[in-house]
Every structure is written in structure tokens, then in C-alpha cells.
Amino acid sequence: MAGQRLMVGFDGTELGGDVKFLIKDLHVGGLILFTRNIASPEQVRHLCRSVQEYARSCGEPALFIAVDQEGGTVARLKSPFTEFPGNAHMRGRREAVEFARISARELLDVGINMNMAPVLDVAVDPATSIMQERAFGSDPQWVSWLGMAVIQHLQEGGVMSVAKHFPGIGRTTLDSHLELPFLETSAEDLAAVDLVPFQDAIEKGVAGVMLSHICYRSLDDRRPASLSRKIARDILRHQLGYDGVVMTDDLDMGAVKKHHDIQPLVRQILDADIDIALICHRSPDMEAAFEAIRSFQSMSPASRRSCERSVGRILRLKKAYLGTS
């Protein structure tokens, strides 16, 4: 069960010894691809087929194979894949549908089954927002309208959609890749604006939700969303009723890596009812995270049941999209 709760990055463009170790020995549930893993459509197709065949030969469930393909500034797949100008440049729903349909077809064609998109952050003040070029805009209804089109047509095309970055980083000016941002916005303002697209995504049946590495003082003044029971469990799970797969943003980002060792970090994630820990760069943190998950699930009957629920959500999603259980 422990490895199913890890999604990891790796080096190289083919199924090598280290990727085999991640699949066979750490039993990882998913891989995420970056530019360093991509050379051509044919190479990506061979890589995805190879890792899935290897997982199957090891008796493992099919893998999530994910990529950040938002369009614009964050698009790992370049020409000859179709390149789009990005969310900030979409003028209406037709463009959102076109992006999602073409992206789903091209991703699925090479074996990628999960897109870390759409960005549902509301850039309340586009001039200062760190998400200026990645957000659909400053109006939560507009963000939701375009975001729901992307979710619907990615998933109708067979690709799992992951909405990000809950509960919204559009107000943020500091880059969480570098340091931990603190947001002073009231809970009422967050609910009226930032949460709106995520509520709609939950109703739309979005496959996954990614949590931000932002500390929202009005919601939890001690922990960023990616480590917070108050945000992940109490708000996302209980208040909004989301029973899909929840994952962290990359645990290699400065917002958390500069402030936490990996094992206590992972224990906080598990305690918050978060399903998947995302680690995007190959390091001993992956082995340490695996051991932390194994340790957590053996701590008590309650922690064991919590792990079973999380793995149940993961396997349910894999069965729905990948035909595995």
C-alpha cells in the first residue's frame, strides 16, 4: 500500500535500472514526466509502454503517468505536440474545449494518462499575481467556466484531470518554488472567490486535486495547505465533500523542503488525509518517504484504516481510467 501513495519523477528517457527500482521495490503508484524525460513522441510512447509493461510484470497496478501540460509557460511537451498560448490568453470556452480535446488525444496517444491541469487559481490582481500567465483570469466565474470545460473534455478523452492549486494561489506574489508564502486573506473572501472554481470542479467529478504550498493564516496559521488537516481534511474532504484523489504539490519545492525533513513531512501529509505525496526529483527522499508511509500505516488501527481508504481511492481511480484494480 505504501508505494501507491507516491508519485515520483526520475532521470532519463527510457526504462532503466533506477525506474525499475522505483516500480518493483518502492511500488510507486505513479510517475511524472518532465522535459528531461521527453525527446520525441515515439520515445515517450515507448517509455510509457515500457514502464506499464514492467509494472504489470511485477504484479503492480497500472501506473499513473502524469505531466504538467497547461499550455503557455508550463507545457512539458513541445512541437511536434500542439502548443497552446496558455490559460491567460483564452478568449472563451471554445478555446478551452479545443485545448482539452487536442491535449487529451495527444497525451493518450503516447501513453500519458493524467494531466496536472487545469489551474483553477483566481488571479485577483493580475498585475501582482505569481499566476498571472498561468491563470484563466481574475473573475472566479470565468475561471470556473473555462476550467470546467477543460476538466470535462480531458476526462471525456480518457485523461485524468488534476485541478490545482487548492485552495487557490492566485493572490500570491511570492513563488513557493523558492520560499513559503503567507496569505492574510480572510476565510470569507477565500470562500467567495478562490474556492468557487474548486467547488465546481468537485461537482464536475474532477479526478484529482492538488494542494498548494501556501500558508493561509485565516484557515491554518501553522501549516501550508499541503500539510494541513484543517484545509485538506476539514475543508476539502468534509466541507466540500470531495472523495477523490488528493495530492501535494512537489515536495522538492522550497516552501516545504527548506523547513521540513522528509519523514515528519510525510507523516503530516498522511495525517491530513492526503492520498499522494509528489516528489519530482530523484533523491533518497523517495526511499525515506516510502519508509515513513510504511511506518505510519503500522502505527495504529486508525492509521491503517486511513491508509486503506487512501489506497482505495487511488485504486478506484485507476480502475475507472486504466482498467486495473
Measured CA to CA in angstroms, residue 151 lies from 39, 54, 74, 161, 300 at distances of: 27, 30, 17, 6, 37
Cβ atoms of residues 150 and 118 within 8 Å: yes
How many degrees, rounded to 5, is the angle at CA 302 between CA 296 and CA 305?
Answer: 85
Choosing from 68, 249, 250, 275, which is the catalytic residue?
249
177 is catalytic: yes
Q: What is the DSSP letter of 63?
A: P
- Pick left, alpha or beta for residue 271 (phi over 0 → left; psi -120 to 50 → alpha; otherwise beta): alpha
What is the grid cell recorded at 224?
Answer: 501550508
Radius of gyration (C-alpha) of the chain in whole angstroms: 18
| Phi, psi for 248 (deg, rounded to 5) | -80, 165
The count of C-alpha atoms lying within 13 angstroms of the C-alpha of 73, restricted to the half-sphere facing its C-beta, is: 11
Choosing from 46, 177, 260, 281, which is the catalytic residue?
177
Catalytic machinery residues: 177, 249
